[in-house]
Amino acid sequence: MIDLFDIKGKVALITGSTHGLGMAMAKGLGQAGATIVVNGNSSQQKIDDAVAALKSEGINAVGYKFNVTEEKEVSAAVAKIESEVGSIDILINNAGIIKRIPLLEMEVADFREVIDIDLVSPFIVSKHVAKGMIERRQGKIINICSMMSELGRNTVSAYAAAKGGLKMLTKNMATEWAKYNVQINGIGPGYFATEQTKPIRVDGHPFNDFIISRTPAAKWGDPGDLAGAAIFLSSKASDFVNGHILYVDGGILATIGKPSNEE
């Protein structure tokens, strides 16, 4: 039974994986035996540092710098990775941004940038990676969606629109590619304890207290909590799972919450 979750020797490309949840999934898959292809676009040094951090834990890792929103760069990078590292068995579309701006104050350029990175880039990267997967009749694609694929929230309309679109893109990829033995699914993270959220994860901070009370698990998620979901969706254990969004959110989407005076 444990062989169902075996990903030893698989090549996993994870976009936006130099830090945060992308790095957490890279560590999880790497510790399970996959070769990790780290991707970023802001800095070669950040990529090198991420690769070094993974290697220090005994993980086989390499890094490639390319812009996931530029199709020519993506096409060239995918060809180079498959030539130098091996066929890409697992793709995790993790790269993304969020801009917290009220709709009436948001410029069209800001809205388009979020859509371009959070929705268009998974299409571009998946398109070029899936070609090889379809030829080989085997592959796993995981799109990192969000609870905002299901819920609205003030000031993050562009992000929610992109992630809602990514949920449906995931289902439509599955509709078209499942017959080639390619499984396409999504992971919807809840609120996680990362470097970005560290300043607000303090007792008494309004948002921290809100998240603790709103989450049935009554805590922030540990980035490592995503590893199990990523390994499942990367392995044979999920060979008949397609077009599904797996929410790793401590139960937030299971409930409307509770009054502040209710235990």
d(CA 27, CA 17): 10
d(CA 35, CA 94): 17
User: Alpha helices, DSSP H only, in the chain?
Assistant: 20-31, 44-55, 71-84, 108-115, 121-136, 157-177, 206-214, 225-234
At 253, give phi and psi (nearest 5°): -75, -5
Asked whether the beta carbons of 227 and 24 are under 8 A apart, the reply is yes
Asked whether the beta carbons of 139 and 91 are under 8 A apart, the reply is yes
159 is catalytic: yes
Asked whether the beta carbons of 197 and 217 are under 8 A apart, the reply is no
User: Catalytic: which of 159, 180, 191, 247?
Assistant: 159
3-state SS assignment for residue 164:
helix
CA-based end-to-end distance of the chain: 40
The size of the chain, in residues, is 263
d(CA 52, CA 120): 30
Ramachandran area for residue 194 (φ above 0: left; ψ -120 to 50: alpha; else beta): beta
Asked whether the beta carbons of 48 and 128 are under 8 A apart, the reply is no
Contacts of 258 (CB under 8 A, 6+ apart): 213
| Residues taking part in catalysis | 159
